[in-house]
Amino acid sequence: MTPSPGDALLYAVSARRNMAWSSFKAAVDAIHPPGGKAAEEMRYVRSGAADVGDSLGHWDIVPDQQNATRICAAPAVLARLPWPGLPRAVLCGSRSPDTVSEVLAAGARQGKATVRATRQSARHPYAPARVDVVAGTDDGLAALVGDLGIRVAIEPPAWGLAQACCTVSAYLASLDWQPDDGLDWPRRDFDPGRLAFGPPRASRDREALRLSTYAHPRGWWHIDRLHREGQVASADRSWGRYAVLASAGIDVLRYDHRNGTVTVPRQVPLPKLAARSFALCSGQPPAVVPGEGLGNHSYTGVPQCVVQALAARLGQHVGLVPVA
């Protein structure tokens, strides 16, 4: 199989193990030159490439001691999917150019597991090939990769991540709330009705939760803050949006139990653990499907138990939201 841009990017991150954001951007640009793309468009291309590898468990996006972003390759692991029937798993983590062929060859030698490698560039241009393994038993999964230095996660990581994800209330309790200092930088507020940031909103209720993003007057950076009861705290934007949605009683997740599909508006991307949990139900990145605004991310193969666990943690009521 000829390597795709997603494969090449995963090889680069795996070889470096730990990449500064500047190096990751250079790798993305080398694999897919910007050409005539505007700087703002390339910024979204790079962040999208980083997010898809993170959601599929190939690497982690982490801050360093200077609060700068780094890309850290994850160990290679065969992650079982939370599906009934024969044990099925997908290959996550770091790879070399030889990894996929080695796993395919191991499956052919053993004869007790079926291994398939398929391109995923149609779902996302920077998604590496999906390596899917089906065996007769859990031991068969372990035997397949035992001599390749790849460990096996028999307990489906999708379920473990759903259980590990914190709740909205726990997230709010973890923040460092301080008296509101009246920061006077240019400000935009998150509107839960529009699922978008817009002009500052006139709030008559000091107890209402508000997420605001502030731009440095010279445009150097921005910060996101939550406001509540005359106090303010720096916040992660993804968690901040879902906290505001929960406070406003607005449900945005939709679940079709007939085919195990979860849709999430692209304007409100999921917090990291939730996104990875949904993606590791199938080992596929979310597809972009039509919808209001920017459309939706669609995750496939998601069992009801995972949806219910994550919805409760995000303050969402999936059962009350009609299926499209």
Domain count, the chain: 4
Helix ranges (DSSP H) in 72-177: 99-110, 138-145, 157-164, 168-174
In this structure, the answer to whether residues 60 and 91 fall within a common structural domain is no
In this structure, the answer to whether residues 90 and 126 fall within a common structural domain is yes
CATH of the domain at 135: 3.30.70
In this structure, the answer to whether residues 124 and 146 fall within a common structural domain is yes
Please say which residue of 34, 54, 73 terminates a domain. 73
Domain that holds residue 132: 77-156
CATH of the domain at 66: 1.10.10.10
In this structure, the answer to whether residues 152 and 81 fall within a common structural domain is yes
In this structure, the answer to whether residues 259 and 241 fall within a common structural domain is no
In this structure, the answer to whether residues 175 and 243 fall within a common structural domain is yes
CA gap 245, 164 in Å, rounded: 21
pLDDT per residue, tens digit, the chain (324 aa), is: 678 899 999 999 999 999 999 999 999 988 877 665 666 678 888 999 999 999 999 999 998 766 678 999 999 999 999 999 999 999 999 999 999 999 999 998 888 889 999 999 888 888 999 999 999 999 889 888 887 889 999 999 999 999 999 999 999 999 999 999 889 999 999 999 999 999 997 765 555 899 999 998 887 788 999 999 999 999 999 999 999 999 999 999 999 988 899 999 999 999 999 999 999 999 999 999 988 888 999 999 999 999 999 999 999 998 544 444
Please say which residue of 94, 123, 156 terminates a domain. 156
In this structure, the answer to whether residues 237 and 269 fall within a common structural domain is no
Please say which residue of 209, 228, 248 terminates a domain. 248
In this structure, the answer to whether residues 275 and 307 fall within a common structural domain is yes
218-262 pLDDT, tens digit per residue, is: 877 889 999 999 999 999 999 999 999 999 999 999 999 888 999
